């Protein structure tokens, strides 16, 4: 079995369990909800075909929806996240500069790129997730505060996770 495939399957399962059994219960005043599971979508390899990226994003969101009883909100937000990931990577990454099997990880892409990548995509995911949940403009103030507070906590958890599992980029010879 390919090591990249095995790593991604394990990452999928571990992030589901962490989200469902640990982070689901870390909600304070319904303002901050950490969604570490989006790290799975963020760390998929660059050469993942778009159809597979969208299918995996939908599957990840749908799995979270099944545990949270949220009727497709996470699946929709994860699919939008995958679309934004495609746009962001097409704009910012030169295809010639990376090795044969890279993923957009902190150790490979560097802190600045990874931080902006995580920041933008987390904000997009949370914006669509919370707006689909509320689905009215009269609640925009509360919704935006939830987006920013939850995004901050999610980004912090993603950066901590990446630093714990940090792998230095291999030098070309």
Give the tens place of pLDDT for each residue, 109-130: 888 988 999 999 999 999 999 9
Residue 151 forms part of a structural domain: yes
Residue 106 forms part of a structural domain: yes
Residue 173 forms part of a structural domain: no
Residue 172 forms part of a structural domain: no
The label of the residue with tokens 């939830």 reads 146
So what's the pLDDT on residue 122?
95
Q: What is the three-class DSSP state of 109?
A: helix
Count the alpha carbons within 13 Å of 154 in the hemisphere toward its beta carbon. Answer: 30
Instruction: Give the total number of structural domains in the chain.
Output: 1
Distance of alpha carbon 12 from alpha carbon 8, whole angstroms: 6
Q: What is the three-class DSSP state of 28?
A: strand
Q: What is the pLDDT of residues 48-93, one digit of tens each?
A: 899 999 999 999 999 999 998 888 899 999 999 999 999 998 888 7
Residue 92 forms part of a structural domain: yes
Query: Rounded to the nearest 5°, which phi and psi values hold at 33?
Result: -125, 105
Concatenated DSSP letters for 45-103?
-TT--HHHHHHHHHHHHHHHHHHHT-TTHHHHHHHHHHHHHHHHHHHH--GGGS-SS--
Q: Are 37 and 22 in contact (CB under 8 A)?
A: no
Residues 86-103 have a mean pLDDT of 73
Contacts of 12 (CB under 8 A, 6+ apart): 40, 56, 60
Residue-averaged pLDDT of the chain: 85
Q: What is the pTM of this model?
A: 0.87
The parent domain of residue 90 ranges over 3-19+30-164
Residue 24 forms part of a structural domain: no
Residue 12 forms part of a structural domain: yes
């Amino acid at each position: 079995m390919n090591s990249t495939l095995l790593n991604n399957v394990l990452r999928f399962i571990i992030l589901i369990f962490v989200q469902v059994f640990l982070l689901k219960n870390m909600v304070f005043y319904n303002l901050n909800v950490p969604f570490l599971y989006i790290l799975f979508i963020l760390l998929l390899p660059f050469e993942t075909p778009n159809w597979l990226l969208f299918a995996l994003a939908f599957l990840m969101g749908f799995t979270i929806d099944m545990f949270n009883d949220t009727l497709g909100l996470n699946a929709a937000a994860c699919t939008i996240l995958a679309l934004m990931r495609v746009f962001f990577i097409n704009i910012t990454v030169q295809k010639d500069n990376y090795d044969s099997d890279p993923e957009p990880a902190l150790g490979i892409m560097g802190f600045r790129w990874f931080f902006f990548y995580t920041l933008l995509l987390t904000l997009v995911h949370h914006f669509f997730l919370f707006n689909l949940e509320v689905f009215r403009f009269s609640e925009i103030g509360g919704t935006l505060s939830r987006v920013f507070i939850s995004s901050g906590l999610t980004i912090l958890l993603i950066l901590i996770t990446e630093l714990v599992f940090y792998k230095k980029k291999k030098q070309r010879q």
